[in-house]
Amino acid sequence: MQAKSYIDRDQLAADVNYSDNDLDSAFMTHPGLVVRYGMLHADAVKQHAAMKLKRDVVEAQVHADLKQRHIDNKEKFTEAGLSKEVIADRRYIAAYSNYIKAQEALDEATQAIEALRHRRDVMVQSAKSKHMELTTSPDFAASKGFAEFFAAARSNKS
C-alpha cells in the first residue's frame, strides 16, 4: 500500500478564497468545507498510523531476518551493526519512504484545517467591519430616523 495525499492544493486554495461582497455565501459554505477537510484529515491520520505500524513491522521483520542470517552463517554481529544493516535494507527503506509520504499527507491535511480556521476568523472580522461601516454611515442613521418616525406615527394612530 502506497501513501497518498488527500488534499488537492489547488482546490484548497480555491476553497479558502472568498469575496467580501458575498459574505453570506462564504458563511453558508464554510461548515461544509470544515466537514469535508475534517474527514480528509481523519483519513490522513489513519493512513499515517497505518504506515507507521507497517514501518515498525517491516523493521522488526528485517531485523529478525538479518539476525537469523548471521546466526545461520555463524557470523559475529552486534546490535548496533544489525541496526545499521536494517536501515540500509531495501524493504525498510521502502516502508520508511511510505511513512514519510504519509507524514507529508498528514501535514497537508492539518494545514488545510488551519487554513479553514484562519478563513473563518478573517470572515468574522470582515463581517464586523461591514457591520461597523453600515451602522456608522449617514444613510443608516437617516433610515433609522425614518423607521423611528414611522413607528411613532403608527403608535399614535392607535
Amino acid identity for residue 19 in this structure: S
Say if 97 falls within a structural domain.
Answer: yes
Say if 55 falls within a structural domain.
Answer: yes
9-16 helix and 90-136 helix, angle to the nearest 10 degrees: 10
Averaged pLDDT, 82-96: 97
How many structural domains comprise the chain? Answer: 1
Say if 47 falls within a structural domain.
Answer: yes
Question: Which pLDDT score is estimated for 140?
Answer: 60
Range of the domain at 96: 21-126
Taking alpha carbons only, the member of 49, 74, 79, 75 closest to residue 64 is: 79
Assessment of whether the complete model's pTM goes beyond 0.85 = no
- Which range (50-64, 67-81, 143-157) has the least confidence? 143-157
Q: Which residue has the cell 481523519?
A: 42
Mean pLDDT of the chain: 91
pLDDT tens, residue by residue, 4-49: 999 999 999 999 999 988 999 999 999 999 999 999 999 999 999 9
